[in-house]
Amino acid sequence: MDLQQHTPPVICYGEILWDMLPDGPKPGGAPLNVAYHLNKLGVEVGIISRIGNDSNGRKLEQLLDMWGINKDMLQKDEVYPTSEVLAKMNNGNEVAYEIVFPVAWDFISYTESMFRALKPSSYLIYGSLASRNGVSRSTLSQLLKTDAIKVFDINLRPPFVNRDLLEELLSGADIVKFNQSELEMGQMVFGGQFGNEAAQVEFIQKRFNVSEVIVTKGEFGASYYKNDQVYNAWGCEIKVMDTIGSGDSFLAAFIANHRLNNTPETIITNAVAMGAFVAMRKGGCPEYDLTEYEEFKQQFFKPIKEQL
């Protein structure tokens, strides 16, 4: 199959797995969660990952088919199993993860067809976790050389991250998403000592030549730094069911609006709304109707643009 002719405009790279929750297994992994919500938002999306030749892998394949997510670049491993993550709930709705190693997605193999499939208009979404093993890291390193729009959703999960890895992943990115603690940790790793968020972002932008940086703040919304301006969107009071996948749904809405060349204010507001909307539901890939999300967005304040 010539992937260049069939690859959708957005590709998510990395881990797909089963979150083993107290009330039963749920499909997960940031790339899968992002892909699920992009599809819900009407964006054609595919995934580059690897599953085991086992029942857990077959169930994930069935879900991808059911959800309409392109799986042409989904690989199957004959040695390592499909990933399982032991997830435990803390303080009612926060989640702690025990990520089993090694698993199938640690061994995503590079192919030239992947490289050819990523065109300048494509979005490649990736995180740091999938680079914890050399095989998948090497594959991602090759894909970061493409002309695609590269979106780094930084997910610092010790001990699977280090300075050299961050250097490579940040240097390859066009858009980077942090939460507040990741931003502080990330800039300090490279010698930044700035207490102010705007200064921290400016350091990252200049150090890695990244023009667009997103900082998520949970219930307090998010900020979108683009060139020399910042756009803010505030959260609203909601009843949180759990936080699994809310950040991934946020990113999906951000990318869906970014592709449409919407205004920065609209992009960040719609993303914050989606993150809050999904936090009110259970699991990273909850069932919902798009009209429910559209109605929910009406609760949000208008975003504010500021000059740095």
CATH number of the structural domain spanning residue 260: 3.40.1190.20
Average pLDDT over residues 103-111: 98
Helix axis angle for 30-40 and 246-259, nearest 10°, is 50
More confident residue, 156 or 219: 219
> pLDDT (tens digit, 9 = 90+) per residue, 237-275?
899 998 889 999 999 999 999 999 999 999 999 999 999
Taking the whole predicted model, whether its pTM rises above 0.75 is answered as yes
> pLDDT (tens digit, 9 = 90+) per residue, 126-149?
999 999 999 999 999 999 999 999
Task: Give the up-direction half-sphere exposure of residue 130: CA atoms within 13 A in the CB hemisphere.
Answer: 31
CA distances from residue 35 to 46, 47, 83, 111, 116 in whole angstroms, order as listed: 7, 7, 17, 21, 20
Tokens 């997605």 locate to 105
CB 179 within 8 A of CB 215: yes
Total number of domains constituting the chain: 1
Domain span at residue 184 reads 3-307
CA-to-CA distance for 259 and 277, rounded, in angstroms?
A: 21
